[in-house]
Amino acid sequence: MNAALDPRFAPYVPPASSLQLSFCGMHFASPIVLLSGCVGFGEEYTRVVGFSNRDTGAVCLKGTTGSARLGNRPHRVFETPMGMLNAIGLQNPGVDHVVQQILPTLDFQETRFIANVSGSTIEEYVEVTARFDDSPIDAMEINISCPNVKEGGVTFGNDPDMSARVVAACRQVTQKPLITKLSPNQTSIQENARRCIEAGTDAFAVINTLMGMAIDARTRTAVIGNRQGGLSGPAIKPIALLKVAQVYEVAKAHKVPIIGQGGITTATDAIEFLIAGASAVGIGTALFYDPLVCRKVNAGIAAYLAANGIATVSELTGTLSGLHGH
């Protein structure tokens, strides 16, 4: 293709003004949040021609623990029908390295950056939160729902009491916005959300991946080295939509916003999550096969708003017919 005709080389056009919103006091240029684990520490896609962090409202950095972690043994990623299994195991260089070496390289004029706080104990969550509190990071996502680590993670996220304890402990050491990442692998996501609101969360990310596995029939062994991993991608979208709507029923009275995520690949997908109750939408797995998907999603949402006479994207949140108040 002639470079002059290639859309990747076209002059940068910022997202439409109708897409701007305020999320926990942060200005988002668009409702799109790039999800943790899918863009490394914010630099993963900067070498892709045509990609720009300016197309996003925020970028969620890779899960970070107190000390460096090597992660799980391979295989760590496996493609499934309409999705992907991953069990990375929170490989990361540790919070001190992230704060001292990585954050100074990020352009905080482009977008908002959200740290992903992970740990195996409540004390570790507090340590990482306190370290990020003393940094330029805009907000923190508390990862209490990671399904592919042996300890912490999903153990905390599936127990409302433990979830609340983690949130309350992190709340004590920072005034920055806290976004609690909720697990779909639990009895009542609404009860968990209610407890986290009481404990001081400012927002939710709904949902994290579903637990799944893949088997090699030839060798009769699990394909993923960790045996189980987190399932993401379009296969989980119907579940994610339901969970967003359920959490919205609890969160709306407290004005606690939601990042809706799980299988979003198109503008229509994103619009459905907004209607279900999300204030912003997370994109992750889609980036692996279409790094420029954000620009398309932004354009599609803006066109939908214009066609339906809706002035701002925030007016779309929670407009599902049948929801209380609509």
Biggest alpha carbon–alpha carbon distance for the chain: 58
Question: Which CA distances in Å does 118 have to 92, 122, 180, 257?
Answer: 10, 10, 11, 21
In order of 53, 112, 251, 282, the CA distances from 30 in angstroms are 10, 11, 22, 11
Q: How far apart are CA 115 and CA 132, in angstroms?
A: 7
Q: Could you give the CA distance from residue 121 to residue 65 in angstroms, rounded to a whole number?
A: 10
Cα(129)–Cα(120) distance, integer angstroms: 13
Is residue 196 part of the annotated active site? The answer reads no
Decide if 207 contacts 234 (C-beta within 8 A): no
CA distances to 6, 8, 13, 282, 294 from 50, rounded to whole Å, are 10, 4, 11, 20, 11
Catalytic residue among 24, 38, 60, 146: 146
| Cβ proximity of 318 and 251 under 8 Å | no
Structure tokens at 93: 């260089």
User: Is-contact 316 268, C-beta < 8 A?
Assistant: no
The answer to whether the Cα torsion of 197, 270, 84, 43 is positive or negative is negative
Q: How far apart are CA 272 and CA 301, in angstroms?
A: 10
Q: List active site positions.
A: 146
